[in-house]
Structure 1
Amino acid sequence: MRRQVPGRPAQWSLVTSSELWSRETADRYDGEEAENSSPAALEPTLAFLAGLAGEGRALEFAIGTGRVGVPLRARGVPVAGIELSEPMAAVLRRKAGADTLPVTIGDMATTVVPGEFTLVYLVYNTISNLLTQDEQVECFRNAARHLAPGGRFVIELAVPPLRFLPPGQVAVPFDVSDRHLGFDTFDLAEQMLVSHHFTRDGDDGRYRRGSSRHRYAWPAELDLMARIAGLKLERRVADWHGAPFTDDAEQHISVWRKPVT
């Protein structure tokens, strides 16, 4: 379904199926992601992205609370962001002002911001928040729309762990710890998964339950989306350190490039 963008009669915007993050979720996000947000944990990500951005500008799709965008900006890379959730963007605003890191509220599949970028990036499995193949294709097209010739689009995405599903099983755990139980359930026919979370809420034995829907995609499917958008695969590795992508890789960092001519 499409809607016309108010005040821009010549432009149309896709109404995406991404689930909107609430203020409650946004306010606790940084605390729950503290381990993945430490300087040591982020250094390989920042080095990888800064190297691709070079002397140009970077645009982060689904920038969230700025877990990556804010320290990348502090590293000297001019960063702009697109974010669907206003509460998530409000948390980012506590860290960086609009003059330092501009953020546009909108969906990553169609929202357009001014200027060209040498790097567009989308981390932490977030393309899976787009729940249809059409929307994911539009996301690639939107990245290509923002890239200068020779610019690159980067996605970090998990490889679907379907080989861990024996016949008749629909769930795969991804985290079992004292404070958190996480597992995914799969609808193979629809290429969908639901992530379920049981998180200890305080020290009184209570647990908070949450879930989110995602559309998983294979690396080869993403390559076809990139080709539709006019981008070409340049590199695929298993992590931000650049480890080779193999059959055993649990995730991939993929880089597609926009042709120079």
Structure 2
Amino acid sequence: MRAACRFAVWDPSRTDYGNPAVCEAAHDYLKENCAVNGLEDIFDNPSQSRTAALNHQLSVEASYVKGILKDLVRAGVLPEPGKTKTSLTKSVRDGMSKFTGSRKNSTVQHAIHLLILRAFARTKPHLLKESTRSKESQPPSESMTEQTVVAVDRSQKQRAPGTAANRTDFFSCLTTFFQEHQEKWGDNVSNGGWVKYIDDAIQVERREHPEDLLPIIPTRDSSASAASTSTGTPVYNPSLPGQVESHGGTFMTPPPPSNLSQFSALFLSPGVSN
């Protein structure tokens, strides 16, 4: 279940970080892969108590995994005393390792999404000061009664999708941020106001981490970047392909993808890193 929640939380197209939305995605992932995760009986023969117990445990795991993402963002924005801020490129690598178990297949979309999360977090550092990650979660107690798990499930359902008990926590505010900005700019981050937002975030990353060349993000070269900065032209250039890490730690331009989704082809190029 935790693996399914990791899959859902690390999805670079995610904009709703409420537990109901994350749990729904994790539930769908488990159902689709029930033949390999040993959960066929739960989905083939569902009961109210089984469904409630599954939903409860998914909620526990979702909270834990979201805490991992928050810790990843915090390491690059507000690190623990005595530690240096993590660069964006390293954060993408660390995120792939933490959420997928491998640093392979990171994409421009992953980098852009994490860039946005870091930029948002810089505006609300107070939300990063305390970890939201619960202690290592445990399976539901065998002594939990059907009435208990049904009550837990019912209390979760009474809450509107995408909401949380405390609307001032990091992920509730992040969800609201995406909702408000998508209303203004749409959900394609290669267009409109998103380009300026991303460009500003890149400039901050470059100031804080001059050693990080951000090879995975499509930008103009260094000389053009300097000229662009002086003329007000965005450094971020979504018409250019980003680079992905190849074997040996070098970077290369990936081949264009064969099909598109709501995001431009740019943000779907798979990585081939080692």
TM-score by length of 1: 0.30
More strand by share: 1
Q: Which has the higher contact order (CA 8 A, sep 6+)?
A: 2
Larger Rg: 2
